[in-house]
Amino acid sequence: MKRHLWWMPCVAVAAGLTGVSANAQLNTIVFSENFDSLAGTLGDSVNERQGFPIVTELATDTDSEPIANAFSSTGPAGWVVNNNLGSYQGSPTLGNAGVPGQGVADYGVDEWQGWNFASKDFWSEAAGDQDRSLFTNATGTIAVVDPDEYFDLGPTDGSTGGPSNPVNGGFYNSGLSTPGISVAPGTLYTLSFDSSWRPESLDDGHPNNDGTLLDGDNNPIPDSDNDPLTSFVDLNNQAVEVVAVFDNGVRQTRTAWDSLGPANPGDPIPASFKDDTPNERIDNLNFGVPAGATSVKFEFNIANAGNDWWWAIDNLAVNELVGGAEVWTEDFEGVALGDSVNERRSLVADKVTAANDDAETFVRPDSFTKDAPAGWNVDNSDTPADTLGDNNVGVFEWEGWSFATEDFWTFADGSGRGDFDNASGVFAIADGDEWDDLGDPTDLGELNTLLETPAIDIPAIADGSRFAIKFDSSWRDEDDQAAILTVSLDGGSPTEILRWESQQTLDPNNTPGDPSDDVPNPFFHDDNTNEMVLLEIDTAGASTAQFAFRYIGTNDWWWAVDNIQVGIIPEPSTGLLLVLGGLLPFLNGRRG
């Protein structure tokens, strides 16, 4: 806050710093508040909501459960999955045939072991979307082959005798064949279907076919013992083909594409390369029926894929090219989906920041309240009005000072919030970091919120004793965040008795970009997420005192307080307080 007077003396005295004993106590307490009276009044969360994430785990995992009606390895009648595919475009697949890890419980995600049939929503959610939901032509159940998700489960350190990375165990090859479709010799037909494709290539290691590292002339490179070196070579090139297979033995490739784009910027685009196409209708795969053939099957093959992306299809149809008579269709909606295996629903609720009407999440009960204890007041009038209220601009729970438990506060986010060990039960929290997590409220201004105590009667103070406020604090600083505590005596103007700021240096000459004349900020307070603060006040004969805790921040961090006590510190001879000369009385400090 560069607008403040940078030469003013610091007025905060915290436990553990020179001048105040960590054992200092108020022997006569005239007011206290720990906010625990609000525990029975906490209401349901609004934007800090719960969801149950999908996690990739073994089927035996006890902290998760399978998801019903998710996928099936069995397609419609007559469809065949071939997870031992060994050729692509007439050539052997690279290094291995089929899908590695078949039948191994901890190698490869079962739901994506070759071609499978799945709910489109399940597929997208299990994979964290990554553009899978863009397949909007598809509905309900689809056929999908997803090496990206398949290689999300497997040994990662070789400890089980497997590869050091699941994909190093072999590339991914799988075929899917339709049932036979009756066709007439000499007639022209067209195959059409919806497709979702995302490519990737040359970024996953795999041994050469003979397991050796070769030089530029394809000769084995020996090691120091003259044995061939084994290497993983990035040869993956996720590629697909659609092949018409007639019952007379004729095979016709109707289309094929792969992931191998231009080697260098500006190079020609290879004819076989297909870029990201997550939602496409392919409807021009025309074919004629050779003599002697009366039926055709179509193979949808994927080959040479590493930990790449996916191919998904839906809404297949074969029509006569002339006249358009429909011969055959398949949309997979007749597939009976079963429970998931490795893509499981976590039994531990995950935190989601979402709109208050989000149908995919649910509220967390008994979490927070905006209602302060009796006599207290929260004033948010200095925060932009459009960021206040349950309007999904700003996380409602943190729009100004709120009252919550550590359990809910750390549920909203960790980041050191759980270090406030001095606090217990319910406490007061101002959290600009969490406030900014919905609807970009900082585009409209800063969170500027005030928490005021009731007016507190000041008792008679014996000679040598002092009036003081003591509280526990959790503060994490960033950018222009500020914490300010003021006191108002007998209803008069507030006087600052504590100011913490996040800027370590100030620029009194206002020369941006030139740090040479910057000076230390006397109000800078570094992170301290668990401290006791004790401040003395010269009451000057006043009969009442009212304290106000102000937080100012944007997408910064927080200030939280608990266990607020106001009372009398006995004279120093008791040994309970070590007074640092020059800091008292505070009422000669800057007035707000």
The band of 1, judged by pLDDT with boundaries at 50, 70 and 90, is very low
Which tens digits make up the pLDDT trace of 398-443? Answer: 999 999 999 999 988 889 999 999 999 999 999 999 999 888 999 9
Q: In the numeric block, which tokens belong to residue 267?
A: 């190079």
**DSSP assigned state of 230:** P
Q: In the numeric block, which tokens belong to residue 346?
A: 């976590």
The band of 511, judged by pLDDT with boundaries at 50, 70 and 90, is low
pLDDT at 586: 26
Q: Nearest-CA neighbor of 473 among 403, 377, 558?
A: 558
Residue 115 has pLDDT above 90, yes or no: yes
Average pLDDT over residues 448-454: 96
pLDDT at 592: 29
Point out the least confidently predicted range of 91-105, 109-123, 281-295, 330-344. Answer: 330-344
Which tens digits make up the pLDDT trace of 164-211? Answer: 455 556 789 999 999 999 999 888 999 999 999 998 877 655 544 444
pLDDT at 255: 96
Residue 41 has pLDDT above 70, yes or no: yes
The band of 229, judged by pLDDT with boundaries at 50, 70 and 90, is very low
Measured between its terminal Cα atoms, the distance across the chain in Å is: 14
CA-atom Rg of the chain in angstroms: 34
Point out the least confidently predicted range of 94-98, 380-384, 447-451. Answer: 94-98
Max mean pLDDT among 223-232, 366-375, 511-520 falls in 366-375
Residue 278 has pLDDT above 70, yes or no: yes
Q: Nearest-CA neighbor of 497 among 387, 563, 567, 585?
A: 585
pLDDT at 298: 96
pLDDT at 516: 64
DSSP string, 416-477: TGGG-TT--SEEEEEEHHHHTTSS-GGGT--EEEEEEPPPEE-----TT-EEEEEEEEEEE-
Element (H, E) at 189: strand 188-198
Residue 351 has pLDDT above 90, yes or no: no
pLDDT at 13: 38
Cα separation of 321 and 325, whole Å? 8
Average pLDDT over residues 97-101: 89
pLDDT at 202: 73
Residue 221 has pLDDT above 60, yes or no: no
* Percent residues over pLDDT 90 in the chain: 47
Which tens digits make up the pLDDT trace of 337-346? Answer: 777 777 777 8
Residue 509 has pLDDT above 90, yes or no: no
The band of 241, judged by pLDDT with boundaries at 50, 70 and 90, is very high
Read off φ and ψ for residue 223, nearest 5 degrees.
-90, -165
DSSP string, 488-525: EETT---EEEEEEES-SEE-TT--TT-GGG-EE-TTB-
Point out the least confidently predicted range of 54-68, 209-223, 337-351, 501-515. Answer: 209-223
- The H helix count followed by the E strand count for the chain is 4, 35
Average pLDDT over residues 49-58: 81
Average pLDDT over residues 219-225: 51
Cα separation of 396 and 380, whole Å? 13
416 CB-near residues (< 8 Å, 6+ apart) = 476, 527, 529
This prediction has a pTM of 0.64
The band of 450, judged by pLDDT with boundaries at 50, 70 and 90, is very high
Residue 292 has pLDDT above 60, yes or no: yes
pLDDT at 513: 61
Architecture of domain 330-570: Sandwich (2.60)
To the nearest whole number, what is the mean pLDDT of the chain?
81
CATH of domain 28-208+231-321: 2.60.120.260
Is residue 293 within 8 A of residue 183, CB to CB? The reply is yes
Neighbouring-strand partners of residue 456? 545
Answer with the residue of higher pLDDT: 510 or 253.
Answer: 253
The band of 216, judged by pLDDT with boundaries at 50, 70 and 90, is very low
Average pLDDT over residues 274-300: 94
pLDDT at 577: 31
Range(s) for CATH 2.60.120.260 in the chain?
A: 28-208+231-321, 330-570
The band of 510, judged by pLDDT with boundaries at 50, 70 and 90, is low
323 CB-near residues (< 8 Å, 6+ apart) = none
pLDDT at 215: 46
Cα separation of 151 and 153, whole Å? 5
**DSSP assigned state of 305:** E
Cα separation of 317 and 331, whole Å? 9
pLDDT at 230: 46
Point out the least confidently predicted range of 247-261, 359-373, 376-390, 436-450. Answer: 359-373
**DSSP assigned state of 285:** E
